[in-house]
Amino acid sequence: MVTAPIRLAILGATGSIGRQALDVVRGQPDRLRVVALGANRNVDELRELALEFPTARTALGPNALVALATDPDADLVLVATPGVAALRATIAALEDGKCVALANKEVLV
């Protein structure tokens, strides 16, 4: 049985957890597809990721993360942004009915 790849939005794509998640995506291209990449501050690395994943939406900053978290193309939102910066985006994703993979202890608490 052939299944469609999981469409993934990664918030915090330029951080350690985000980079590790992208390594998994690279190793599973038939199972995972990046549709959105977000970061808080690292514009240079986000630009590089945009070149590698040209079909993915990219955005920078806490307000932009909310938009990516509710991207209609995303099946799963990985919240890998540190601190409380990801709180609004996480709530927005959940309210939008998204599956959320939370890699942020501050939001959990």
Number of domains in the chain: 1
Buried/exposed code over 85-109 (b: 16+ C-beta within 10 A; e: otherwise):
bbbebbebbeeeebebeebbeebee
CATH code at position 57: 3.40.50.720
The SS3 call for residue 7 is: strand
In the predicted structure, residue 1 carries a pLDDT above the cut 80: no
Domain that holds residue 84: 6-108
The Cβ of residue 51 has, within 10 Å, a number of other Cβ atoms equal to 7
Q: What is the pLDDT of residue 83?
A: 80
66 falls within a domain: yes
> Which amino acid is it at 71?
D
Taking only the tens place, the pLDDT of each residue in 41-98 is: 899 999 999 999 999 999 998 889 999 999 999 999 999 998 887 899 999 999 999 9
Q: What is the pLDDT of residue 85?
A: 78
1 falls within a domain: no
Q: What is the pTM of this model?
A: 0.94
